[in-house]
């Protein structure tokens, strides 16, 4: 009986996974159709499968946009990890006046929607004469990524045994030395979880990139949106672009899925 329940549970999970992945699977299937067949006959078997849509997506600047997204994502995630780990160390291991209020203020940033700050962000970027530059996205991405990152890393850092910290102090370590040599190595799962979560969000972010970037500097979502014109759209190229955009994220997820699940579960329990 128990074995039957286990088998049924696995079948149910497999069906749910297939249902969730079905849009992406259909996109990959329809992207090999020619011309507008993806729209006229979305579920028909392609008579002559072709990679023309992928060539059109690449020639449309998707690979260049991927490089832009990769650069912005790497720098933003690195800054988020640096600042969030320092803040989380202060909240988890130190005691100072106003600690609770400051932590509440940072976490309250999770309740601010991106769309509410688009106009102020553009005005600030225009006055600072950085509107249209790729680095104008770094500050907003870091600011929006810090609240959740601080919350998760605080839970991880608080779980590091105090004995290790005391031993490091006896050896003459400063607070920064303890953060670097003790806390960070003991919280690799939490750091990797935060990096993946924030990297996926920044990789897929569209509204701020659309507002703040101009000219040839486009991220992947913005470049992908330009495949659709005012009166027509190259649906095969759009679907091919969706597959190209999703491929790196799916690869990362399958490589680190155990770490992601473990990190989210432990972070929730510790928090």
CA atoms within 13 A on the CB side of 84: 31
CA distances from 24 to 30, 69, 124, 197, 250 (A): 10, 21, 37, 20, 11
The range of the structural domain enclosing residue 264 comes to: 60-270
Residue 126 in any domain: the answer is yes
pLDDT band at 40 (very low <50, low <70, confident <90, very high): low
CATH code for position 142: 1.10.3720.10
Residue 25 located in a structural domain = no
Q: How many domains does the chain have?
A: 1
Distance in angstroms (rounded) separating the CA atoms of residues 148 and 197: 10
Residue pair 240/59 in contact by the 8 Å Cβ criterion: no
- Tens-place pLDDT, residues 165-215: 888 888 888 888 999 989 999 888 889 889 988 998 999 999 999 999 877
* Banded pLDDT at 39 (limits 50, 70, 90): low
Examine residue 1 and state whether it is found in any structural domain, yes or no. Answer: no
Question: How does the average pLDDT of the chain come out, rounded?
Answer: 84
* pLDDT score recorded for residue 229: 65
């Amino acid at each position: 009986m128990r074995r039957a329940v286990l088998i049924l549970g696995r079948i149910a999970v497999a069906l749910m996974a297939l249902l969730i992945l079905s849009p992406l699977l259909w996109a990959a299937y329809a992207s090999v159709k020619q011309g507008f067949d993806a729209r006229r006959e979305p579920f028909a078997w392609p008579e002559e499968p072709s990679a023309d849509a992928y060539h059109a997506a690449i020639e449309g600047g998707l690979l260049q946009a991927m490089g832009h997204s990769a650069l912005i994502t790497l720098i933003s995630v690195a800054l988020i990890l640096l600042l969030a780990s320092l803040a989380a160390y202060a909240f988890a291991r130190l005691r100072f006046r106003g600690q609770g209020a400051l932590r509440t203020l940072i976490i309250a940033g999770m309740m601010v929607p991106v769309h509410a700050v688009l106009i102020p962000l553009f005005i600030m970027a225009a006055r600072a004469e950085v509107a249209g530059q790729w680095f104008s996205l770094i500050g907003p991405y870091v600011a929006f990524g810090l609240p959740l990152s601080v919350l998760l890393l605080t839970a991880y850092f608080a779980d590091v045994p105090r004995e290790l910290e005391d031993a490091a102090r006896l050896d003459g370590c400063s607070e920064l030395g303890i953060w670097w040599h003790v806390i960070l190595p003991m919280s690799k799962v939490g750091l990797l979880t935060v990096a993946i979560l924030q990297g996926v969000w920044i990789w897929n972010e569209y509204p701020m990139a659309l507002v703040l970037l101009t000219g040839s500097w486009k991220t992947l979502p913005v470049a992908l949106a330009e495949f659709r014109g005012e009166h027509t759209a190259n649906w095969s190229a759009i679907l091919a672009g969706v597959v190209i955009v999703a491929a790196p994220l799916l690869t990362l997820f399958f490589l680190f899925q155990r770490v992601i699940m473990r990190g989210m579960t432990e972070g929730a329990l510790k928090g």
